[in-house]
Amino acid sequence: MTAIGFIGLGVMGGPMAAHLVRAGFDVTGFNRSPAKVQRLVAAGGRGAASAAAAAEGADVVVTMLPDSPDVEAVLLGAGGVLDVLAPGTVVVDMSTIRPDVARSLADAGAALGVGVLDAPVSGGEQGAVDATLSIMVGGDAAAFEAARPVFDALGRTVVHVGPPGAGQTVKAANQLIVAGTLQLVAEALVFLDAHGVDRSRALEVLAGGLAGSAVLDRKAAAMVAHDFTPGFRVDLHHKDLGIVTAAARDAGVAIPAGSLAATLMAALRAQGHGDLDHGALLLLVEQLSSP
Ligand code: NAD
């Protein structure tokens, strides 16, 4: 049995850690708010009082935290996780963070003989609950093979996409596609409604043609119902589009539609909708055509 330290037991990390317990791993979890640790304990895991305590003695440490500064603080901070790990341990950061930060974490780990993989996920809360996530992994090939049983317990599509940071770069591309598609789905819904067409029937036929997509399948019905319960919060997608636009600028490539989607997501957040599901882009599109 492999011992796993799991840090960050939120919307995604909670169900992921519980799947690892079910798969037979010895999982010790830590979260900033203790109630979430208790949920893991109720599911058969162990609780720890700090990130370092969860990581100590682990073969694999998984982090599932909101943003780059959170992962840096947990791994690199004073009394952080890297301080307590034995050489040969593998750290798998499954949060969505900046690719350049993922590269610097891999360098810091390599100096200690610790493999650090960036392994962000796609598939949302449902994918975490169903263990059907897509997992895009950057980093050392041997560390990837060592962590493979962990990935197989959490996801359906697991691909080693390249060196450190490559996983986060692919995730940024994922978020670019999802934001742009959501925006166009929102525009199509307003357009159909303005013409008096039944949107549910329209969606049924659109889903079967070239306009069909996972975004259309999983998001459009809730958008029609104006149900913006997250799901994936606007705040997090705003964070991710910041990563996308900065990484595009670093690489010297223009992403005009993506930049527009990033601006619209920022506007939605500025209007106080950061806690809604990102399908709430529909609210902005509706406003643009309202008296
Ligand atoms: P979340 O806010 O629900 O969970 C993050 C957890 O980390 C919280 O429980 C928080 O208390 C904890 N935390 C924060 N700082 C901590 C620290 N220093 N030490 C210990 N615990 C700490 O977020 P989430 O939705 O689970 O997302 C996590 C990551 O996964 C993000 O990077 C997000 O972009 C990404 N992601 C989310 C989804 C989704 O649909 N929610 C999908 C794919 C990827």
Q: What is the CATH number of the domain that holds 85?
A: 3.40.50.720
Closest CA to 95 of 85, 105, 107, 83: 105
Same structural domain for residues 241 and 134?
Answer: no
For ligand 1, the distance from its centroid to the CA atom of residue 123, given in whole angstroms, is: 14
Report the half-sphere exposure of 123 (CA within 13 A, side-chain side): 22
Residues 93 and 226 in one domain: no
Residue 231's pLDDT is: 86
The answer to whether 263 and 237 are in contact (CB under 8 A) is no
Alpha helices in 61-154 (DSSP H): 68-76, 81-84, 99-110, 124-130, 141-154
Domain boundary among 128, 163, 198: 163
CATH number at residue 268: 1.10.1040.10
Residues with CB under 6 A from ligand 1: 7-13, 30-33, 36, 51, 64-66, 70, 73-74, 95-96, 121-122, 124-125, 232, 236
152 and 205 assigned to the same domain = no
Which residue range is the domain that position 57 belongs to? 3-163
211-247: per-residue pLDDT in tens?
999 999 999 999 999 999 988 999 999 999 999 999 9
The total number of structural domains in the chain stands at 2
157 and 236, same domain (yes or no): no
Would the pTM count as exceeding 0.85?
yes
Question: Of 134, 163, 192, at which residue does a domain stop?
Answer: 163
Q: What is the pLDDT of residues 132-173, one digit of tens each?
A: 999 999 999 999 999 999 999 999 999 999 999 999 999 999
| Local structure of residue 233 (DSSP, 8 states) | B
Same domain, 112 and 131: yes
Q: What is the pLDDT of residues 163-202, one digit of tens each?
A: 999 999 999 999 999 999 999 999 999 999 999 999 999 9
Domain boundary among 163, 196, 212: 163
Closest CA to 164 of 145, 144, 150: 144
pLDDT band at 274; cut points 50, 70, 90: very high
